[in-house]
Amino acid sequence: MTNGPLSGVRVFDLTVAEVGPWASLNLGALGADVIHVEPTPTARGNDARVFARGGVLGERPMATDKGIQSWAVGYIAWNMNKRGITLDLKAAEDIAYAHELLKTCDVFLMNMRPDVAARLGVDYDAVAQINPGIVYCTVTGWGHTGPMRELPGADGQVQYFTGGADANGAEGAPGEIYRHSTQFDSTSGNYACMSILMALVGRKKTGKGQRVDISMLKATTAMQTPRIAEYLMTKQGPTRLGNKAQSTAPDRAFATADKRELGVSATSEEEWQALCKAIGHLEFTEDPRFATNTDRVDHRDELYAALDPIFASMPLDYWVLELNKVGVPNGRMMRWDEIRHHDQVTENNYIGPVDTKQWGRVWTSKGPWHFSSTPTRWFATPGIGEHNDEILKEIEASRAAAGSSTGAPAGREQ
Protein backbone atom coordinates (compact mmCIF):
# COMPACT_ATOMS: atom_id res chain seq x y z
CA MET A 1 0.00 0.00 0.00
CA THR A 2 1.09 3.54 -0.73
CA ASN A 3 0.74 6.54 1.51
CA GLY A 4 0.96 9.00 -1.38
CA PRO A 5 -1.36 12.01 -1.57
CA LEU A 6 -3.84 10.03 -3.75
CA SER A 7 -3.70 6.85 -1.66
CA GLY A 8 -7.15 5.22 -1.68
CA VAL A 9 -8.17 6.69 -5.04
CA ARG A 10 -8.82 4.16 -7.81
CA VAL A 11 -8.71 5.05 -11.52
CA PHE A 12 -10.33 3.16 -14.40
CA ASP A 13 -7.81 4.01 -17.11
CA LEU A 14 -9.16 3.41 -20.63
CA THR A 15 -6.46 5.34 -22.48
CA VAL A 16 -4.21 5.03 -25.53
CA ALA A 17 -1.17 6.74 -27.08
CA GLU A 18 0.22 9.48 -24.78
CA VAL A 19 -2.36 12.06 -23.71
CA GLY A 20 -4.42 9.84 -21.41
CA PRO A 21 -1.60 7.51 -20.30
CA TRP A 22 0.52 10.54 -19.35
CA ALA A 23 -2.27 11.85 -17.11
CA SER A 24 -2.84 8.49 -15.42
CA LEU A 25 0.91 7.85 -15.05
CA ASN A 26 1.09 10.95 -12.86
CA LEU A 27 -2.01 9.98 -10.89
CA GLY A 28 -0.37 6.61 -10.22
CA ALA A 29 2.87 8.27 -9.13
CA LEU A 30 0.86 10.32 -6.64
CA GLY A 31 -0.47 7.12 -5.08
CA ALA A 32 -3.68 6.34 -6.98
CA ASP A 33 -4.42 2.72 -7.87
CA VAL A 34 -4.52 3.10 -11.65
CA ILE A 35 -5.98 0.12 -13.51
CA HIS A 36 -4.92 0.39 -17.14
CA VAL A 37 -7.37 -1.39 -19.46
CA GLU A 38 -6.20 -2.94 -22.73
CA PRO A 39 -8.30 -4.90 -25.25
CA THR A 40 -8.07 -8.68 -25.02
CA PRO A 41 -6.14 -10.46 -27.81
CA THR A 42 -9.46 -11.63 -29.31
CA ALA A 43 -10.77 -8.06 -29.34
CA ARG A 44 -7.69 -6.75 -31.10
CA GLY A 45 -8.21 -8.59 -34.36
CA ASN A 46 -5.97 -7.18 -37.07
CA ASP A 47 -5.97 -3.63 -35.76
CA ALA A 48 -2.42 -2.47 -36.49
CA ARG A 49 -2.65 0.26 -33.86
CA VAL A 50 -2.21 -2.29 -31.07
CA PHE A 51 1.22 -3.34 -32.26
CA ALA A 52 4.51 -1.72 -31.37
CA ARG A 53 5.89 0.02 -34.40
CA GLY A 54 9.48 -0.93 -33.67
CA GLY A 55 10.63 2.68 -33.46
CA VAL A 56 10.92 5.23 -30.71
CA LEU A 57 7.19 5.57 -30.14
CA GLY A 58 4.25 3.20 -30.40
CA GLU A 59 0.93 2.91 -28.67
CA ARG A 60 0.95 -0.63 -27.39
CA PRO A 61 3.15 -3.70 -27.21
CA MET A 62 2.55 -6.59 -29.57
CA ALA A 63 0.72 -9.44 -27.88
CA THR A 64 0.43 -12.93 -29.40
CA ASP A 65 -0.39 -16.38 -28.13
CA LYS A 66 3.30 -16.72 -27.25
CA GLY A 67 3.25 -13.61 -25.08
CA ILE A 68 4.77 -10.17 -25.45
CA GLN A 69 6.94 -10.04 -28.55
CA SER A 70 8.03 -6.42 -28.68
CA TRP A 71 7.47 -3.24 -26.75
CA ALA A 72 7.29 0.36 -27.89
CA VAL A 73 9.32 2.96 -26.01
CA GLY A 74 6.29 5.21 -25.68
CA TYR A 75 4.19 2.44 -24.17
CA ILE A 76 6.85 1.61 -21.60
CA ALA A 77 7.42 5.28 -20.72
CA TRP A 78 3.80 6.42 -20.44
CA ASN A 79 2.24 3.44 -18.66
CA MET A 80 4.38 3.14 -15.55
CA ASN A 81 2.79 3.34 -12.09
CA LYS A 82 -0.25 1.24 -13.08
CA ARG A 83 -1.74 -2.21 -12.89
CA GLY A 84 -2.86 -3.80 -16.16
CA ILE A 85 -5.93 -5.80 -17.18
CA THR A 86 -7.52 -6.83 -20.47
CA LEU A 87 -11.19 -6.44 -21.38
CA ASP A 88 -13.23 -6.98 -24.53
CA LEU A 89 -15.78 -4.20 -24.13
CA LYS A 90 -17.73 -5.57 -27.08
CA ALA A 91 -18.50 -8.71 -25.08
CA ALA A 92 -21.42 -8.64 -22.64
CA GLU A 93 -19.49 -10.54 -19.95
CA ASP A 94 -16.62 -8.09 -20.00
CA ILE A 95 -18.92 -5.07 -20.02
CA ALA A 96 -20.57 -6.47 -16.89
CA TYR A 97 -17.13 -6.96 -15.34
CA ALA A 98 -16.15 -3.39 -16.26
CA HIS A 99 -19.29 -2.10 -14.60
CA GLU A 100 -18.48 -4.06 -11.45
CA LEU A 101 -14.99 -2.59 -11.47
CA LEU A 102 -16.31 0.93 -12.02
CA LYS A 103 -18.37 0.63 -8.84
CA THR A 104 -15.07 0.54 -6.93
CA CYS A 105 -13.45 3.44 -8.81
CA ASP A 106 -13.21 7.14 -8.05
CA VAL A 107 -12.07 8.23 -11.51
CA PHE A 108 -12.80 7.20 -15.08
CA LEU A 109 -10.30 8.44 -17.69
CA MET A 110 -10.53 7.99 -21.45
CA ASN A 111 -8.94 9.66 -24.48
CA MET A 112 -10.77 8.50 -27.58
CA ARG A 113 -13.17 10.01 -30.09
CA PRO A 114 -16.44 11.38 -28.66
CA ASP A 115 -18.78 8.49 -29.54
CA VAL A 116 -16.48 5.61 -28.63
CA ALA A 117 -17.48 5.52 -24.96
CA ALA A 118 -21.16 5.07 -25.81
CA ARG A 119 -20.36 2.26 -28.24
CA LEU A 120 -18.38 0.51 -25.51
CA GLY A 121 -21.07 0.95 -22.86
CA VAL A 122 -18.98 3.30 -20.69
CA ASP A 123 -20.44 6.69 -21.61
CA TYR A 124 -20.98 9.19 -18.79
CA ASP A 125 -24.68 8.44 -18.28
CA ALA A 126 -24.03 4.70 -17.99
CA VAL A 127 -21.06 5.10 -15.65
CA ALA A 128 -22.73 7.76 -13.47
CA GLN A 129 -25.75 5.51 -13.05
CA ILE A 130 -23.45 2.77 -11.78
CA ASN A 131 -21.35 5.12 -9.65
CA PRO A 132 -22.84 8.61 -9.11
CA GLY A 133 -19.75 9.80 -7.24
CA ILE A 134 -17.28 9.12 -10.03
CA VAL A 135 -15.10 11.81 -11.59
CA TYR A 136 -15.48 11.07 -15.31
CA CYS A 137 -12.81 12.66 -17.51
CA THR A 138 -12.61 12.48 -21.28
CA VAL A 139 -9.88 13.92 -23.50
CA THR A 140 -10.62 14.41 -27.20
CA GLY A 141 -8.68 16.05 -29.99
CA TRP A 142 -11.21 18.69 -30.98
CA GLY A 143 -14.11 18.58 -28.51
CA HIS A 144 -17.53 16.94 -28.41
CA THR A 145 -19.22 19.26 -30.91
CA GLY A 146 -18.32 20.90 -34.20
CA PRO A 147 -17.42 19.64 -37.68
CA MET A 148 -14.09 18.14 -36.55
CA ARG A 149 -15.37 16.22 -33.54
CA GLU A 150 -14.89 12.77 -35.12
CA LEU A 151 -11.46 13.45 -36.62
CA PRO A 152 -8.36 11.96 -34.98
CA GLY A 153 -6.42 14.44 -32.92
CA ALA A 154 -2.78 13.77 -32.05
CA ASP A 155 0.23 15.92 -31.28
CA GLY A 156 1.28 16.60 -34.86
CA GLN A 157 -2.17 17.53 -36.16
CA VAL A 158 -2.82 19.78 -33.17
CA GLN A 159 0.53 21.55 -33.61
CA TYR A 160 -0.41 22.40 -37.18
CA PHE A 161 -4.01 23.33 -36.50
CA THR A 162 -3.43 25.58 -33.48
CA GLY A 163 -0.65 27.63 -35.09
CA GLY A 164 2.15 26.11 -33.03
CA ALA A 165 4.01 24.94 -36.13
CA ASP A 166 3.40 28.28 -37.88
CA ALA A 167 5.30 30.12 -35.12
CA ASN A 168 8.34 27.83 -35.15
CA GLY A 169 11.18 27.48 -37.61
CA ALA A 170 14.18 29.33 -38.98
CA GLU A 171 13.77 32.84 -40.31
CA GLY A 172 12.38 32.77 -43.82
CA ALA A 173 11.93 28.98 -43.72
CA PRO A 174 8.74 26.87 -43.61
CA GLY A 175 7.03 26.29 -40.26
CA GLU A 176 8.16 23.37 -38.13
CA ILE A 177 6.64 21.16 -35.51
CA TYR A 178 8.22 20.92 -32.08
CA ARG A 179 10.67 18.04 -32.50
CA HIS A 180 10.03 16.47 -29.12
CA SER A 181 6.70 15.55 -30.76
CA THR A 182 4.84 15.17 -27.48
CA GLN A 183 4.66 18.71 -26.09
CA PHE A 184 1.01 19.21 -27.03
CA ASP A 185 0.10 15.68 -25.97
CA SER A 186 1.68 16.03 -22.54
CA THR A 187 0.26 19.52 -22.01
CA SER A 188 -3.23 18.14 -22.64
CA GLY A 189 -2.46 15.24 -20.29
CA ASN A 190 -1.32 17.66 -17.61
CA TYR A 191 -4.59 19.58 -17.92
CA ALA A 192 -6.50 16.30 -17.59
CA CYS A 193 -4.56 15.31 -14.47
CA MET A 194 -5.05 18.75 -12.92
CA SER A 195 -8.77 18.74 -13.73
CA ILE A 196 -9.24 15.32 -12.16
CA LEU A 197 -7.51 16.49 -8.98
CA MET A 198 -9.74 19.57 -8.80
CA ALA A 199 -12.86 17.47 -9.38
CA LEU A 200 -11.81 15.15 -6.55
CA VAL A 201 -11.46 18.21 -4.30
CA GLY A 202 -14.90 19.33 -5.44
CA ARG A 203 -16.35 15.92 -4.65
CA LYS A 204 -14.90 16.08 -1.15
CA LYS A 205 -16.76 19.34 -0.61
CA THR A 206 -20.07 18.47 -2.29
CA GLY A 207 -20.18 14.68 -2.16
CA LYS A 208 -20.97 14.64 -5.88
CA GLY A 209 -19.05 13.36 -8.88
CA GLN A 210 -19.01 15.17 -12.20
CA ARG A 211 -17.99 15.03 -15.83
CA VAL A 212 -14.81 16.76 -16.99
CA ASP A 213 -14.13 17.25 -20.70
CA ILE A 214 -10.72 18.28 -22.05
CA SER A 215 -9.91 18.94 -25.69
CA MET A 216 -6.38 19.12 -27.04
CA LEU A 217 -7.49 22.07 -29.16
CA LYS A 218 -8.48 24.13 -26.13
CA ALA A 219 -5.61 22.97 -23.90
CA THR A 220 -2.90 23.75 -26.41
CA THR A 221 -4.48 27.02 -27.46
CA ALA A 222 -4.28 28.06 -23.81
CA MET A 223 -0.59 27.09 -23.86
CA GLN A 224 -0.03 29.68 -26.61
CA THR A 225 -1.80 32.55 -24.85
CA PRO A 226 1.08 35.09 -25.14
CA ARG A 227 1.35 34.67 -28.92
CA ILE A 228 -2.42 34.79 -29.35
CA ALA A 229 -2.60 37.94 -27.21
CA GLU A 230 0.02 39.57 -29.43
CA TYR A 231 -2.05 38.82 -32.50
CA LEU A 232 -5.27 40.13 -30.97
CA MET A 233 -3.54 43.40 -30.06
CA THR A 234 -1.45 43.91 -33.20
CA LYS A 235 -3.27 41.83 -35.86
CA GLN A 236 0.14 40.38 -36.70
CA GLY A 237 1.08 36.77 -36.10
CA PRO A 238 4.42 35.75 -34.58
CA THR A 239 7.37 35.61 -36.95
CA ARG A 240 9.71 32.63 -37.18
CA LEU A 241 12.94 33.46 -35.41
CA GLY A 242 14.90 30.23 -35.18
CA ASN A 243 16.42 30.10 -31.70
CA LYS A 244 15.81 33.78 -30.96
CA ALA A 245 13.29 34.75 -28.31
CA GLN A 246 10.18 36.57 -29.46
CA SER A 247 10.05 39.49 -27.03
CA THR A 248 13.50 39.87 -25.41
CA ALA A 249 17.02 40.49 -26.70
CA PRO A 250 19.67 39.35 -26.39
CA ASP A 251 18.01 36.00 -25.79
CA ARG A 252 19.32 33.13 -27.93
CA ALA A 253 22.16 30.63 -28.34
CA PHE A 254 25.65 31.74 -29.41
CA ALA A 255 28.43 29.65 -30.93
CA THR A 256 31.63 29.72 -28.85
CA ALA A 257 35.27 29.22 -29.83
CA ASP A 258 35.17 25.48 -29.14
CA LYS A 259 32.20 24.99 -31.51
CA ARG A 260 29.70 24.59 -28.70
CA GLU A 261 26.56 26.61 -28.14
CA LEU A 262 25.62 28.71 -25.12
CA GLY A 263 22.18 30.13 -24.51
CA VAL A 264 22.26 33.65 -23.04
CA SER A 265 19.23 35.57 -21.77
CA ALA A 266 19.32 39.20 -20.69
CA THR A 267 15.69 39.81 -19.78
CA SER A 268 16.09 42.99 -17.71
CA GLU A 269 18.13 46.18 -17.95
CA GLU A 270 20.22 45.03 -14.98
CA GLU A 271 21.10 41.81 -16.79
CA TRP A 272 21.90 43.74 -19.98
CA GLN A 273 24.29 45.98 -18.09
CA ALA A 274 25.91 42.95 -16.44
CA LEU A 275 26.27 41.18 -19.79
CA CYS A 276 28.03 44.17 -21.34
CA LYS A 277 30.42 44.21 -18.37
CA ALA A 278 31.12 40.48 -18.66
CA ILE A 279 31.96 40.67 -22.36
CA GLY A 280 34.03 43.83 -21.91
CA HIS A 281 31.90 46.12 -24.07
CA LEU A 282 30.25 48.69 -21.80
CA GLU A 283 29.96 51.00 -24.81
CA PHE A 284 26.99 48.91 -25.93
CA THR A 285 25.01 50.35 -23.00
CA GLU A 286 25.41 53.81 -24.53
CA ASP A 287 24.35 52.78 -28.03
CA PRO A 288 20.84 54.18 -28.70
CA ARG A 289 19.98 51.08 -30.74
CA PHE A 290 20.40 48.97 -27.61
CA ALA A 291 19.19 51.40 -24.93
CA THR A 292 16.09 49.44 -23.90
CA ASN A 293 14.76 45.95 -24.51
CA THR A 294 12.33 47.36 -27.07
CA ASP A 295 15.24 48.97 -28.90
CA ARG A 296 17.25 45.76 -28.80
CA VAL A 297 14.32 43.73 -30.16
CA ASP A 298 13.82 46.28 -32.96
CA HIS A 299 17.54 46.08 -33.80
CA ARG A 300 18.19 42.44 -32.97
CA ASP A 301 20.02 41.83 -36.27
CA GLU A 302 22.57 44.55 -35.48
CA LEU A 303 22.78 43.38 -31.86
CA TYR A 304 23.52 39.77 -32.75
CA ALA A 305 25.97 40.83 -35.46
CA ALA A 306 27.90 42.62 -32.70
CA LEU A 307 27.68 39.79 -30.15
CA ASP A 308 28.36 36.78 -32.38
CA PRO A 309 32.11 37.40 -32.89
CA ILE A 310 32.56 38.23 -29.21
CA PHE A 311 31.17 34.89 -28.02
CA ALA A 312 33.04 33.10 -30.82
CA SER A 313 36.33 34.44 -29.46
CA MET A 314 36.42 32.32 -26.28
CA PRO A 315 35.40 28.76 -25.29
CA LEU A 316 32.07 27.93 -23.68
CA ASP A 317 33.43 27.27 -20.17
CA TYR A 318 35.02 30.71 -20.09
CA TRP A 319 31.72 32.41 -20.84
CA VAL A 320 29.83 30.28 -18.31
CA LEU A 321 32.25 31.39 -15.57
CA GLU A 322 32.14 35.06 -16.57
CA LEU A 323 28.36 35.23 -16.95
CA ASN A 324 27.75 33.39 -13.67
CA LYS A 325 29.99 35.88 -11.86
CA VAL A 326 27.70 38.78 -12.80
CA GLY A 327 24.39 36.92 -12.62
CA VAL A 328 23.48 36.73 -16.32
CA PRO A 329 21.20 33.72 -17.02
CA ASN A 330 22.90 31.24 -19.33
CA GLY A 331 22.86 27.58 -20.20
CA ARG A 332 25.12 25.35 -22.22
CA MET A 333 23.30 23.38 -24.89
CA MET A 334 23.39 19.92 -23.38
CA ARG A 335 23.36 16.51 -25.02
CA TRP A 336 21.33 13.69 -23.49
CA ASP A 337 24.44 11.80 -22.46
CA GLU A 338 25.62 14.91 -20.57
CA ILE A 339 22.30 15.49 -18.82
CA ARG A 340 22.10 11.87 -17.74
CA HIS A 341 25.31 12.17 -15.65
CA HIS A 342 25.19 15.85 -14.65
CA ASP A 343 25.67 16.45 -10.92
CA GLN A 344 22.53 18.59 -10.66
CA VAL A 345 20.46 15.76 -12.11
CA THR A 346 22.04 12.90 -10.16
CA GLU A 347 22.13 14.66 -6.78
CA ASN A 348 18.42 15.48 -7.01
CA ASN A 349 17.46 12.01 -8.30
CA TYR A 350 15.74 13.48 -11.35
CA ILE A 351 16.51 10.34 -13.36
CA GLY A 352 16.32 6.91 -11.79
CA PRO A 353 16.18 3.20 -12.61
CA VAL A 354 13.02 1.13 -12.94
CA ASP A 355 13.25 -2.65 -13.28
CA THR A 356 10.92 -4.09 -15.92
CA LYS A 357 10.16 -7.66 -16.96
CA GLN A 358 10.30 -6.77 -20.64
CA TRP A 359 13.39 -4.58 -20.94
CA GLY A 360 15.29 -5.22 -17.75
CA ARG A 361 16.47 -2.05 -16.04
CA VAL A 362 15.38 1.17 -17.73
CA TRP A 363 16.08 4.75 -16.73
CA THR A 364 13.34 7.33 -16.61
CA SER A 365 12.81 10.90 -15.47
CA LYS A 366 10.61 10.59 -12.41
CA GLY A 367 7.97 13.01 -11.18
CA PRO A 368 8.94 16.65 -10.61
CA TRP A 369 7.46 16.90 -7.13
CA HIS A 370 8.58 16.07 -3.60
CA PHE A 371 6.07 15.61 -0.78
CA SER A 372 7.54 15.71 2.70
CA SER A 373 4.93 13.48 4.36
CA THR A 374 3.14 11.68 1.50
CA PRO A 375 5.93 10.39 -0.78
CA THR A 376 5.27 9.54 -4.40
CA ARG A 377 6.29 6.33 -6.14
CA TRP A 378 7.41 5.05 -9.55
CA PHE A 379 7.19 1.47 -10.78
CA ALA A 380 7.30 -0.59 -13.96
CA THR A 381 4.77 -0.67 -16.77
CA PRO A 382 2.48 -3.72 -16.45
CA GLY A 383 2.38 -6.44 -19.04
CA ILE A 384 -0.79 -6.88 -21.06
CA GLY A 385 -3.30 -8.39 -18.63
CA GLU A 386 -0.63 -8.88 -15.97
CA HIS A 387 -3.04 -8.16 -13.12
CA ASN A 388 -6.16 -9.87 -14.49
CA ASP A 389 -6.30 -12.52 -11.76
CA GLU A 390 -5.34 -10.11 -8.99
CA ILE A 391 -8.05 -7.59 -9.82
CA LEU A 392 -10.64 -10.30 -10.53
CA LYS A 393 -10.14 -11.58 -6.98
CA GLU A 394 -10.63 -8.05 -5.65
CA ILE A 395 -13.89 -7.70 -7.60
CA GLU A 396 -15.06 -11.11 -6.39
CA ALA A 397 -14.39 -9.99 -2.84
CA SER A 398 -16.38 -6.83 -3.48
CA ARG A 399 -19.25 -8.86 -4.92
CA ALA A 400 -19.21 -11.19 -1.95
CA ALA A 401 -19.33 -8.25 0.42
CA ALA A 402 -22.33 -6.92 -1.53
CA GLY A 403 -24.02 -10.34 -1.47
CA SER A 404 -23.91 -10.99 -5.23
CA SER A 405 -21.85 -13.02 -7.67
CA THR A 406 -21.39 -13.28 -11.43
CA GLY A 407 -19.09 -15.18 -13.76
CA ALA A 408 -15.61 -14.24 -14.82
CA PRO A 409 -15.12 -11.97 -17.82
CA ALA A 410 -14.90 -13.48 -21.27
CA GLY A 411 -11.64 -15.25 -22.04
CA ARG A 412 -10.70 -15.73 -18.39
CA GLU A 413 -10.59 -18.78 -16.18
CA GLN A 414 -11.59 -18.59 -12.57
Q: How many residues does the chain have?
A: 414
pLDDT-derived band at 121 (thresholds 50, 70, 90) equals: very high
pLDDT of residue 406: 53
* DSSP state, residue 374: S
Alpha-carbon distance of 293 to 100, in angstroms, equals 61
Alpha helices in 207-360 (DSSP H): 216-223, 225-234, 269-279, 293-298, 300-311, 316-326, 336-340, 343-347
pLDDT of residue 367: 85
Q: Tens digits of per-residue pLDDT, 219-278?
A: 999 988 888 888 888 888 778 888 889 889 999 999 999 999 999 999 999 999 999 999
Q: DSSP labels for 49-99?
A: GGS--SSS--SS-EEETTEEEE--HHHHHHS-S-EEEEE-TTSHHHHHHHH
What is the CATH architecture assignment of 10-223+348-402? Answer: 3-Layer(aba) Sandwich (3.40)
3-state secondary structure of 413: coil
Alpha-carbon distance of 89 to 279, in angstroms, equals 66
Alpha-carbon distance of 175 to 165, in angstroms, equals 5
Instruction: State the helix-helix crossing angle for 216-223 and 225-234, rounded to 10 degrees.
Output: 70
Alpha-carbon distance of 136 to 111, in angstroms, equals 11
pLDDT of residue 177: 84
pLDDT of residue 254: 97
Alpha helices in 207-268 (DSSP H): 216-223, 225-234
pLDDT of residue 46: 40
Q: Tens digits of per-residue pLDDT, 82-113?
A: 999 999 998 999 999 999 999 999 999 999 99
Share of the chain above pLDDT 90, in %: 60
Average pLDDT over residues 283-311: 97
Rounded to 10 degrees, what is the CA torsion of 37, 38, 39, 42? Answer: -120
Q: Tens digits of per-residue pLDDT, 179-204?
A: 776 788 999 999 999 999 999 999 99
Alpha-carbon distance of 12 to 409, in angstroms, equals 16
Q: Tens digits of per-residue pLDDT, 343-357?
A: 999 999 889 899 988
Average pLDDT, the chain: 87
Please write down the HEC assignment for all residues of 195-211.
Answer: HHHHHHHHHHHHCCCEE
CATH class of the 251-255+261-332 domain in this structure? alpha beta
pLDDT of residue 79: 92
Q: Tens digits of per-residue pLDDT, 24-80?
A: 999 999 999 999 999 886 654 443 333 333 333 344 454 444 444 445 778 888 999
Average pLDDT over residues 301-321: 98
Q: Tens digits of per-residue pLDDT, 366-398?
A: 888 889 999 999 999 998 889 999 999 998 888
pLDDT of residue 234: 85
- Give the start-to-end residue ranges of the domains of the chain: 10-223+348-402, 251-255+261-332
pLDDT of residue 181: 63
**Cross-sheet strand order for the sheet of 135-140:** 83-87, 33-39, 10-14, 107-110, 135-140, 210-215
pLDDT-derived band at 322 (thresholds 50, 70, 90) equals: very high
pLDDT of residue 291: 96
pLDDT of residue 407: 54
pLDDT of residue 358: 72
Q: Tens digits of per-residue pLDDT, 146-175?
A: 999 988 888 888 888 888 888 888 888 888
Half-sphere exposure at residue 189, Cβ-oriented, CA atoms within 13 angstroms: 23
Alpha-carbon distance of 181 to 71, in angstroms, equals 19
pLDDT of residue 398: 82
Asked if 10-223+348-402 and 251-255+261-332 have one fold, the answer is no
Residue type, 28: G
